[in-house]
Structure 1
Amino acid sequence: MLIGFIAGSLLMTGRSMVWELDGFAQHYPILVQLRHMIAAFLTNPSQGFTHWSWHISLGSDQLTNLSYYVIGDLFNYLVILFPKNHLEMAFAFLVFLRMYVSGLAFMLYTSTYQFKKISRIIGALAYAFNGYALSTGLHHPFFILPLIFFPLLCYGIDRVLLNKSWLPLALAVFLTLFANFYFAWILAIGTFIYLIIRLLSRRKAGDFHFWQSVGKMALAVILGLGMSAVVFLPTALFATKSTRIHQAFANGMVFFPPEYYLKMPSAILPTGRAMNFWLVIGISSLSFLGVIYTLKHFKKYRWQNIGLIVALIGILIPAFGAIMNAVSTPSNRWFLLANIIFGLATMALVDHLDQLTKNDIAWLTGAGTLLIIIVWAANGFILNLKAHDAVTYGFLLLTVIALLITFIFKWQPWIKVGLILVLFMLNLAANIIGIYSPNASSLAIQQLNRGLATRFSKDYYNGAQQYVKQQSGFFRTSMAPRYHYNEHLQNLANYTNTNTDLSINSGINNTSVYLTLQNGYLGKFSRSVGNSQFSMNTPIAQGDYRTAFNNLLGVRYVFAKANTKKPPMVPYGYHLVKNANGQPKVFQAKARVNAVPAIENMAGTVIYKTNNALPLAYTQFKTFSTNAYNRLNPVNRERVMTQGAVVDAKHNTQPLNYQSPSKNLDYQVQVDRSSFIDSGKKLTAYRLGILGDKNQKQLVNQPHAQVSLGANLQKTKDLLATNRMIYENNQYENRNGLKKLTTDVTGKPLQYYLKVKQPKQTKNAELYLVLSGIKQTDGTVADHNKWMANKYLLQNKLYSRLGKLNVARHSLLKPTFGGYNFDAYTTGFHNGYAQYDNDNLSNYRQIDNMVLNLGYSTKSRKRIKLNFDMVKNIKFKSVKLIAMPFNKSYDKQMQKLKQSGLNNLKVSTNQVTGQSHNDISGTLVTSIPYSSGWRLTIDGKPTKTFVVNKGFVGAKLPAGKHQIKLMYETPGLGLSKWISIFSWLIVILSISYVGVRFLLVRKSQPNNANNKQSPTNRKPLD
């Protein structure tokens, strides 16, 4: 019924279960990919299930790269039962199925203890439909898995501690490790804490045998790990070398910001809204009162309450969250484990509805009232609730009132339970509607229209991919700026395109994918050349549209929108593909019903092609040491790779004497003072609302409305003087190059320009803005309050005490976290980057250096406009403008490199073959992301590979003609397979032994059913 509310809400609004952010960008296309993998395996099992896929970025291992999402999640394999055209239905069905099974898992766990049947049902519903499950099921379907596995792990531990079989624990460990390595870490720590609590609670029991229990649990864990080794171990090895391995612990925080602690009470009941640092609580009113009940009876539920206290302390400390989040960012996603305690507390209250005392009722009533008071106080003594939140607190009051009435009038037990059950179910239904209905939540609006995911996946390139697939040879593709740009999103990780995995099912090799686990070597390469589009999820993207970058990676075709007013900015050497009549070859968008232009490409597609894209494998006859490489700036690092192979010192056998063709451009920092308030006339224009208008001076000199310049004259003069001083000091700081971007007395950023002194040097070149030693200063609460006071003073408006209080409240409850946007504009192109807030737990990294490609142009560019926002100032150690020429000389160089490519190159799953044909020895250079899984043979003889160009497979190549063969096998997979087979054999033999023994005992004792002992009266965790 409750799932019916979810499905019904989506049906009424025409929405699907696919979220327009990660659901559309990751989960849905990866599920489509999995279905294709399953179908291919069933068609030809001898080819294996997972492979090296060339359709995932520059090439990726399906097992390790996709294991975070689908490989180990057994629910996903049901997708093969659904037709291709109904995968959105499969997506939703799998979410609902996981939620249902999480409730069953909780029921199994509670079967160890003595609860009434109705209590267990209510507890399971509270557990399955908690705020975490409802919100993450909407956005990240597999995040429901730990809600299934944690009860199974706890059940397995209980079975062992009660001298039962270790097999349930072994199977639970297998499922956990097999499904998702990330949640396995969280569950391992949570299960260990649960184990400690259970050991302490059982220590005095007469039937407790410590060493026997520890031995059985160790055996179960070892066998569970062994059974899952085929997926878990290769993935764990890959994760240690991924782009995410180097991060500041807890984002450098010792404590969370004050607003986090102030918002915690508001997160207890309302569902669906993750607080900063991924804290999601959102329990039902009955569960909240259950927690109060168990706390009131602390001794009776001692160990359960200790577990709750540990969890509550954990969410107060960033370090605890960071440890739970794989020793990285301070994410409190782990708090999902506390739902098992909330479920137990719910059952405890329902079990004792007949035994509630006057004191219990007083506690429950007082706690409900106190929670609302605390929420009011923590929100700055304003109870400005959203409509759905008001309903949520209304159900809390109704539940308290129901308990009061049933207690006062001493209703029959079945009436009490029935009334509480009705209110409980209505509460859960209201929570669901509060998330899944667009009338109550913005979350529902973020769900894609039904059918859009299916349609857009098929029409992602408007059919242009079919033309590209017909072209010969191995090559890669990319896209021009704003080819796929979801206007509903901020697109902070990639300023000019939305990062997505939609291309992996297109049959072409696109450079960009959006995955949690990415090859760390790609990250090293991308960051070494200063790719502004680098993020941990998307290390390559479109390579910031840089010419040499894309040529090195073999990008032959670039997709761009057709029918645009201006041609897109594409790298040097890329030209429109045209029809025989000389007109651009346009792939028109298909007509569609209920189009969503903010997401879909309605303009059609054109293709740009270059002849400078390098082959997958070629030979460089010069080498360049990594030490010398590191001394170059990022722009020259990219260019040097076109002239020689970047290798470690021991492989630097043919040193290159690199002569940089780049030019450092002189420039002057200018500030646009037209909208900068530093004089009486500009203040007049500001108050008239015409500051910055072209006819500003003319209008100011004409008769106009009264602006009262004499009001607060001295204070106003002081502010204007302060602004002039800010400008003069800033000009002095920037006299020899840009050193600081700053704000005025109201916190408004100044408008900056870099005027190029010799614009002709920017012709026929890519222009780069190279920023080094970046440090931002965030505005404090005091700064924000002062800026607002200054703004009101300049406007000559009343800044009341209430206004000051509101600003202070807003600054405290909605602070900034050091994030900002930086934009650079030049003729024909706009680029930039985003510094994420340090409360962004997926993408945060402090940006110290940045290279922005401002595009290739055959024309001069005279100045660069700079914008920033959200911070007080940004300081730089240095800011350089670099012009990198691209011309016929570069074309000749690239054509020569192409001629050294392998003859008869054949690229297939897990294999690359070809023939080298060089007169002299050199270095084999590929654009295959480096992995120890690649094995090279030359004329059948094994040859060692090494890292070339900071992130790719390379090797020494002798002179002459040679047969080259590269074969791939997932690192660690061979050994892992044997470990899994051996472990499964042990478990199967153990199950067989137990089964045979059970049958023999049953046969020898035919009346044992009559001798069955009733279970003891055990409380949870006791």
Structure 2
Amino acid sequence: MKVKIVDFTKRHYSLLLSFWLPFLIMGGYFISRNMYPFGSSSLLTVDLGQQYVDFFAFFRNTLLHHPTSFFYSFSKALGGDMLGEWAYYLLSPFNLLLLIFPAKNIDAAIFLITILKYSCAGLSFAFFIEKTQHLRGLKTVMLSVSYALMGWFVAYQLNLLWLDAAILLPLICYFLNHLLLQNQQKIAYSLTLAAALIINYYTAYMICIFLLLYASWLIIAHYQSAKRFGHQILLFISNSILAAGLAAIILVPTFYSLIGSKGQYTQQLIHYKFEYFPPKMLAKLIIGSFNFQQMPSGLPNIFIGSLGLLSFIAYFFFRQFPWKERIASLLITLFLLLSLCFEPLDLFWHGMQFPVWYPYRFSFIVSFWMLLLAGRALQQLKKVPSWKIAAISSFVLYAGIILYTFLNLKKFSFVSTTNLTLTVVMAILIWLLLFWPVDLKYQPLKTCLLSIIVIVEVASNAFISLNNLSYLSEKEYAQPTAALTNNATWIHNHNHGLFRTGEVYSRTKNDGLAHDLNTGSYFSSALEKNVPDFYGMIGNPDGDNYVTYSNGTLISDALLGMKYFITPKSNLSNTQQSLTQLTEKPDLKTYRQIATNKLTKTYLNQHSLPLAYLASNQLTKTKSFYDDPTTFQTNWLKSATGHQSDQYFTPQNFNEVVFQNVTQQLRLTDTVFKKKNLAKEAKIIFKFVPTTNNSYYLTLGAPLDSDNVTFYLGNRQLNQYSTFRHAVVVNLASHAKGQEIVLTAVFKKSSLWLNHFVLYQMNNRLVNQRLSQLKKQQPTVKKLSERRLQISYTQKKSQQLVATTIPYSSGWHAEVNGQPVKTTKIQQMFLGIKVNGAGVKKITLTYRPPYLLTGLIVSLISIAVLIFSYWFYRPKYRPKKFI
């Protein structure tokens, strides 16, 4: 056994090193940074900490406890299809490692998954370069480690869902090589491409674009005859379609989901322009050319190290390669480089939508291509008689890159003089070791020394780049997570039904997803467009990919079924206080406190409705509009009850308004106020004294976000979500009769527009009366599973509208007393059912992802074709190789 292990290690040491070196390098770096479980920090930063970690918690919860959440979840904002979310975020096989770790140690699982993905990228590329370019030993290791630690992987390591693409790309290209050049591995090519499409359709789309280029390059470089050319084209197209067919069970329903979400934001107007001066991207070839500012809107991350870059340049000067191959390589290279700076091509690679943060997400493909050509150059380096031309050319061009960056150093915030100097030193050493001839007996020493310097260089880039980022501490993640877990456990132990839970504190917008709390907040790239549209109308913050239920009123809390509210205690010490207050909620005084623990309190909203309620048919005529949330909520409640003359909100005047360093005007709402002295602080102080114990609300238009003004309530900063694009409702007072309320607006700019700035008093008595009326008609809603509900009630009318606050989808199917009935869309948002005939009614709602069955049928047919293909092309029937 020991002999076999030693023999295996000798034969495959390059593959083993390609896996273990990235593992040890990045693992060692993270340990040195005290990343959990080896210290008090964590890998959680930006979207990994604010979004993905909650999806991973949802992944565990679904597989271990609630498998029907795979198809639908009420934790997705107000409820929504989850198949598209799984297809984008959660289908990586690496995620299965999450099941090994306890829920409270999920950040430790992320640590392991991250370094394993680095390692697998190195192994995958090593396998590809050995098999296609016939490189062996340390040359393979140098290129594979350069690939695993390339600039894209380091910069986007926090986007774990994209990293699988960089792992699969070399394997797909390897099997495509065999398919087109040797007429072999047909099944393997289709299977690996299908795997990429299933794991993450977004990055797989980019891979598919590249495969068109790569297949063209292979066919042109090895062209022999028109007949063979046609056969290769047919093989490529048929096997690629087969791969799509195998993935259809995920792709088809996901495509339908995208039509209502990301597909709504497709760019209609394309500008035929360069997004920046193209030579600027050369600066990204410098060591450590990445910082936080490069995340939202930076240059493409194309760092591959000096070995890769020098060899890539040299490739084009090796006459050993046929001219048709080099011309094809040059054209593809120019296309890829143009894609990194020309807007129409950039949009094309991103599915005709500009990325929100993380620009040029396809740059891993550019790095792969450059290292592929670098591998071809290294493979031929000993044999090429004209290596001096390649050496001089690569030196001159690399020197030009360094010189351009040096001359424009002040324009690049992500490049320092130290990093540029380090790059120059490394580049010179690598160039000398790469091209300077030595005696044959010294060649192993030279290669070994070259390997060390190459690995040091790419590792230095990774360390310096990641040092520019900040991370959540373990406490910042663990303490609010533990508090939310405790709250969720208590609530679910006392109520097993279907309801929503509002948050007065939160860790992220996906707390509900991670803790099965149905909080009404959500953050996802695949969020259906009608959901943020609705939130914008009820006065809550919304964006293209998020909604936050932070600005509820007594009306919206009740109608949306917000049965519980959790809030942090106000007397926590600094050591305890890592719970971020999300919003003001004086309305909690009208709710009943039912639980308390060390950090939080839980309140019961006695007026909350179930997710289905009996309503007036007038609700079907409710209109939609923005920037008047009090009127929208009024129309909703009075249409649901049938009392069209009701008025729930009354505008109020402030008792006193004080202007400090601001030009005074009589009118407040929709007036632009300007500073008198631009060098001094300007503020407006608004004072009012409630004359009743009713709820008081203030509406704020989009220009009153945190970019333009800071609000203070009394002597502390107002708790309010910082960004919003439609008017929001802020709860300022409740049960505060006779108490002076002071709101201060501090200017952040030279002027301030008080857009939709109106103070309202709610008629609490009338609102509670109408809500009580709706509660008397309350049906019983039983959750049989995440995708199956039962609604029971006794109908007294000949026709009754059963309204729900479940977002409308064609995936919902209804049966009344066992008979199928049509569903209808109400309020241009929710699911409604019109039920005829008096008597006892039992409605069953079942969710089936649209086109899931279609996708399943296509996948089954594709599997049958795959099995037949495997049988037909088994060795005894397999045609002879082309070459």
Contact 2:311 2:377 in 1 (8 A): yes
| Residue 284 (structure 1) aligned with residue 305 (structure 2) | yes
Residue number among 567, 571, 574 corresponding to 1:564 in the alignment: 571
Paired with 2:571 and 2:285, the residues of 1 have a C-alpha distance of 46
C-alpha distance 95-172 of structure 1, shift in aligned 2 (>3 A): same
Q: 1:320 matched to which residue of 2?
A: 345
Q: 2:25 matched to which residue of 1?
A: 5
Contact 2:286 2:423 in 1 (8 A): no
Q: 1:528 matched to which residue of 2?
A: 537
Contact 2:593 2:603 in 1 (8 A): no
More deviation, 625-634/324-333: 625-634
| Residue 538 (structure 1) aligned with residue 550 (structure 2) | no
CA RMSD of aligned residues (A): 3.8
Q: 1:883 matched to which residue of 2?
A: 760
Q: 2:790 matched to which residue of 1?
A: 913
1:551 is paired with a residue whose SS is helix
Paired with 2:210 and 2:646, the residues of 1 have a C-alpha distance of 57
What is the CA-CA distance between 1:862 and the residue it aligns to? Answer: 6.4
What is the CA-CA distance between 1:515 and the residue it aligns to? Answer: 2.5
Contact 1:744 1:750 in 2 (8 A): no
Paired with 1:960 and 1:987, the residues of 2 have a C-alpha distance of 54
Q: How does 1:164-243 map to 2 (within 5 A)?
A: 164-165=183-184, 166-202=186-222, 204-206=223-225, 209-242=228-261
Paired with 1:825 and 1:374, the residues of 2 have a C-alpha distance of 49
| Residue 740 (structure 1) aligned with residue 708 (structure 2) | no
Q: 1:432 matched to which residue of 2?
A: 462
More deviation, 279-288/266-275: 266-275
Q: 1:373 matched to which residue of 2?
A: 403
Residue number among 337, 341, 346 corresponding to 2:374 in the alignment: 346
Q: 2:174 matched to which residue of 1?
A: 155
Residue number among 699, 724, 731 corresponding to 1:769 in the alignment: 699
| Residue 29 (structure 1) aligned with residue 37 (structure 2) | no
Paired with 1:66 and 1:338, the residues of 2 have a C-alpha distance of 27
What is the CA-CA distance between 1:424 and the residue it aligns to? Answer: 0.8
Contact 2:510 2:523 in 1 (8 A): yes
More deviation, 181-190/614-623: 181-190
The amino acid that maps onto 2:494 is Q
Contact 2:792 2:843 in 1 (8 A): yes
Paired with 2:619 and 2:790, the residues of 1 have a C-alpha distance of 26
What is the CA-CA distance between 1:883 and the residue it aligns to? Answer: 0.6
| Residue 617 (structure 1) aligned with residue 617 (structure 2) | no
Paired with 2:275 and 2:658, the residues of 1 have a C-alpha distance of 37
| Residue 90 (structure 1) aligned with residue 105 (structure 2) | no
More deviation, 279-288/469-478: 469-478
| Residue 830 (structure 1) aligned with residue 761 (structure 2) | no
What is the CA-CA distance between 1:894 and the residue it aligns to? Answer: 0.9
Q: 1:718 matched to which residue of 2?
A: none
Paired with 1:665 and 1:744, the residues of 2 have a C-alpha distance of 28
Give the paired residue count.
830
Paired with 1:739 and 1:999, the residues of 2 have a C-alpha distance of 84
Q: Deviations over 1:367-417 (max 9, x none)?
A: 34332321122223899727556534432233234457x348898443432
Contact 1:755 1:863 in 2 (8 A): yes
Paired with 1:466 and 1:890, the residues of 2 have a C-alpha distance of 30
The amino acid that maps onto 1:929 is P
Contact 1:226 1:983 in 2 (8 A): yes
Q: Deviations over 1:275-305 (max 9, x none)?
A: 5246222221211212332344595633223
What is the CA-CA distance between 1:140 and the residue it aligns to? Answer: 1.6
Paired with 1:670 and 1:264, the residues of 2 have a C-alpha distance of 56
Paired with 2:696 and 2:120, the residues of 1 have a C-alpha distance of 56
C-alpha distance 944-867 of structure 1, shift in aligned 2 (>3 A): farther
The amino acid that maps onto 1:967 is T
C-alpha distance 142-848 of structure 1, shift in aligned 2 (>3 A): closer
Residue number among 312, 335, 341 corresponding to 2:363 in the alignment: 335
Identity, in percent, stands at 17
Residue number among 623, 641, 649 corresponding to 1:662 in the alignment: 649
| Residue 128 (structure 1) aligned with residue 148 (structure 2) | yes
What is the CA-CA distance between 1:309 and the residue it aligns to? Answer: 1.4
What is the CA-CA distance between 1:535 and the residue it aligns to? Answer: 2.6
Contact 1:934 1:967 in 2 (8 A): yes
Q: Deviations over 1:921-955 (max 9, x none)?
A: 33211121222111111111111112223322111
State the TM-score, normalizing by the size of structure 2. 0.84
What is the CA-CA distance between 1:912 and the residue it aligns to? Answer: 1.0
Contact 1:285 1:399 in 2 (8 A): yes
Contact 2:568 2:600 in 1 (8 A): yes
Q: 1:601 matched to which residue of 2?
A: none
Residue number among 586, 593, 600 corresponding to 2:596 in the alignment: 586
1:372 is paired with a residue whose SS is helix
2:701 is paired with a residue whose SS is strand
What is the CA-CA distance between 1:913 and the residue it aligns to? Answer: 0.8
The amino acid that maps onto 1:928 is I
Paired with 1:880 and 1:762, the residues of 2 have a C-alpha distance of 21
Contact 2:76 2:522 in 1 (8 A): yes
Contact 1:926 1:953 in 2 (8 A): yes
Q: 1:398 matched to which residue of 2?
A: 429
Q: How does 1:947-986 map to 2 (within 5 A)?
A: 947-958=825-836, 959-986=838-865
Residue number among 900, 916, 924 corresponding to 2:802 in the alignment: 924
Q: 1:895 matched to which residue of 2?
A: 772
1:971 is paired with a residue whose SS is coil
What is the CA-CA distance between 1:612 and the residue it aligns to? Answer: 1.3
What is the CA-CA distance between 1:855 and the residue it aligns to? Answer: 2.9
Q: 1:808 matched to which residue of 2?
A: none
Contact 1:938 1:963 in 2 (8 A): yes
C-alpha distance 949-628 of structure 1, shift in aligned 2 (>3 A): closer
C-alpha distance 224-945 of structure 1, shift in aligned 2 (>3 A): same
The amino acid that maps onto 1:613 is S
Q: 1:820 matched to which residue of 2?
A: 707
C-alpha distance 668-336 of structure 1, shift in aligned 2 (>3 A): farther
State the TM-score, normalizing by the size of structure 1. 0.73
C-alpha distance 114-467 of structure 1, shift in aligned 2 (>3 A): closer
Q: Deviations over 1:887-910 (max 9, x none)?
A: 122112112111212136445332
Q: 1:941 matched to which residue of 2?
A: 819
C-alpha distance 263-91 of structure 1, shift in aligned 2 (>3 A): same
C-alpha distance 941-377 of structure 1, shift in aligned 2 (>3 A): same
Paired with 1:305 and 1:228, the residues of 2 have a C-alpha distance of 33
Q: 2:5 matched to which residue of 1?
A: none
2:393 is paired with a residue whose SS is helix
Q: 2:561 matched to which residue of 1?
A: 554
Q: How does 1:254-269 map to 2 (within 5 A)?
A: 254-256=273-275, 262=280, 265-266=283-284, 268-269=286-287
Paired with 2:483 and 2:863, the residues of 1 have a C-alpha distance of 44
C-alpha distance 195-352 of structure 1, shift in aligned 2 (>3 A): closer
More deviation, 418-427/906-915: 906-915
Q: Structure 2 unaligned runs (5+)?
A: 1-20, 37-41, 574-580
C-alpha distance 79-862 of structure 1, shift in aligned 2 (>3 A): closer
What is the CA-CA distance between 1:110 and the residue it aligns to? Answer: 3.7
Paired with 1:630 and 1:87, the residues of 2 have a C-alpha distance of 42
Contact 2:623 2:827 in 1 (8 A): no
C-alpha distance 200-401 of structure 1, shift in aligned 2 (>3 A): closer
Q: Deviations over 1:442-462 (max 9, x none)?
A: 32x41544x975676444354
Contact 1:577 1:606 in 2 (8 A): no
What is the CA-CA distance between 1:200 and the residue it aligns to? Answer: 4.5
